[in-house]
């Protein structure tokens, strides 16, 4: 590797034939390039032996198409939408999944979102939820709203709270997990706690202890891929139903990973007004808690405004 090629953007432009240096820099800014399992940074230089992974945006003819998929809209205005994403729906296309995603549904509902953002496969997407995670998610309807909301996420001004059912008796009853996360070098589809990973902080508190598991309220202070699932698994309490980071044989029956984004709060990108949105626990997860002995009244009491915050 010659001296000029030690610049990551020049290296990417060379290996991706037809790609300009400025286009390579956009890929870095969009979080589409990883070096040794960690997201690349602007101006980064490479060393001999570095592993570079590049995720190119789809060609024009492979961009997501509008689909008349029902949306559970909690709020909508000219600047943004807040939706209650169901479990089983991917946030955006990827990894062989091009249809049935939230993006496909959004393009049918608000076609103008197609031009929001630099990544044509993720128009309007500010943040994401795993396919099997349900709950509240905000989408930008304009370029200005996208930039403003992304800045709030980067600065930690967005409140993100989840409900999670974890294996075992989680102790202490309230604590923070702070451990850096990065791409698992042995299993590229997974994340792992790595010394060289990106800073990640998850706070939790125990809401209810059951036989063999604990119901937790979890608050994310950072937003890394699979963060809650990896952090809880790292302390020996994987999410119930999580077959990626949890046990292959699940001791507690659950139709999917028990993880629900139940509250999201942020400043409106145009007015600055603080807004908060909540999504009640869906029926499939209520059934799991019912099988553990929680009554309907007790489940109804599981609302963020009723149990306070962390």
pLDDT of residue 4: 47
Mean pLDDT for all residues in the chain:
91
CA dihedral sign of residues 267, 271, 276, 282: negative
Q: Using one digit for the tens of pLDDT, what is the confidence trace for 267-304?
A: 999 999 999 999 999 999 999 999 999 999 999 888 76
Q: Which of 130, 184, 284, 300 is catalytic?
A: 130
Q: What is the DSSP string of 227-253?
A: HHHHHHHHTT-PBTT-TTTS-SS-SS-
Beta carbons of 282 and 260 less than 8 angstroms apart: yes
Tell me what the mean pLDDT of segment 125-137 comes to: 96
Indicate if 267 belongs to the active site. no
Beta carbons of 212 and 252 less than 8 angstroms apart: yes
Rounded-to-5 percentages of helix, strand, coil across the chain: 25, 25, 50
Query: Domains of the chain by range and CATH?
Result: 4-54 (3.10.290.10), 60-155 (3.30.2350.10), 159-265+281-307 (3.30.2350.10)
Q: Using one digit for the tens of pLDDT, what is the confidence trace for 23-52?
A: 888 888 878 899 988 889 888 999 888 899
Q: What is the spatial distance between Cα 99 and Cα 66, in angstroms, rounded to a whole number?
A: 9
CA neighbours within 13 Å on the CB side: how many for 110?
A: 22
Q: What count of other Cβ atoms lies within 10 Å of the Cβ of residue 78? A: 10
């Amino acid at each position: 590797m010659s001296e000029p090629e030690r610049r990551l953007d020049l290296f990417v432009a060379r290996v991706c034939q037809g790609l300009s240096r400025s286009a390579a820099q956009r890929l870095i800014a969009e979080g589409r390039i990883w070096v040794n399992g960690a997201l690349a940074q602007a101006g980064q230089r490479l060393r001999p032996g570095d592993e570079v992974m590049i995720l190119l945006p789809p060609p024009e003819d492979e961009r997501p198409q509008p689909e008349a998929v029902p949306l559970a809209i909690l709020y909508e205005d000219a600047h943004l939408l807040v939706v209650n994403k169901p479990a089983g729906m991917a946030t955006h296309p990827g990894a062989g999944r091009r249809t049935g995603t939230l993006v496909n549904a959004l393009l049918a509902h608000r076609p103008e979102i197609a031009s929001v953002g630099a990544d044509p496969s993720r128009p309007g997407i500010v943040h994401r939820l795993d396919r099997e995670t349900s709950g509240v998610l905000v989408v930008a309807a304009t370029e200005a709203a996208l930039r403003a909301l992304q800045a709030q996420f980067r600065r930690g001004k967005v409140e993100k709270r989840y409900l999670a059912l974890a294996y075992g008796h989680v102790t202490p009853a309230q604590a923070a997990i702070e451990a850096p996360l990065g791409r698992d070098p042995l299993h590229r589809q997974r994340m792992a706690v790595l010394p060289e990973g990106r800073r990640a902080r998850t706070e939790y508190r125990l809401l209810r202890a059951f036989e063999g598991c604990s119901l937790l309220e979890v608050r994310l202070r950072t937003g890394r891929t699979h963060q809650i699932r990896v952090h809880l698994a790292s302390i020996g309490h994987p999410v119930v139903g999580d077959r990626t980071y949890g046990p292959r044989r699940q001791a507690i029956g659950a139709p999917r990973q028990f993880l629900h984004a139940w509250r999201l709060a942020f400043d409106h990108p145009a007015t600055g007004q603080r807004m908060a949105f909540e999504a009640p626990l869906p029926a499939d997860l209520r059934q799991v808690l019912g099988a553990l002995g929680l009554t309907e009244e007790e489940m109804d009491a599981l609302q963020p405004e009723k149990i306070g915050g962390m």
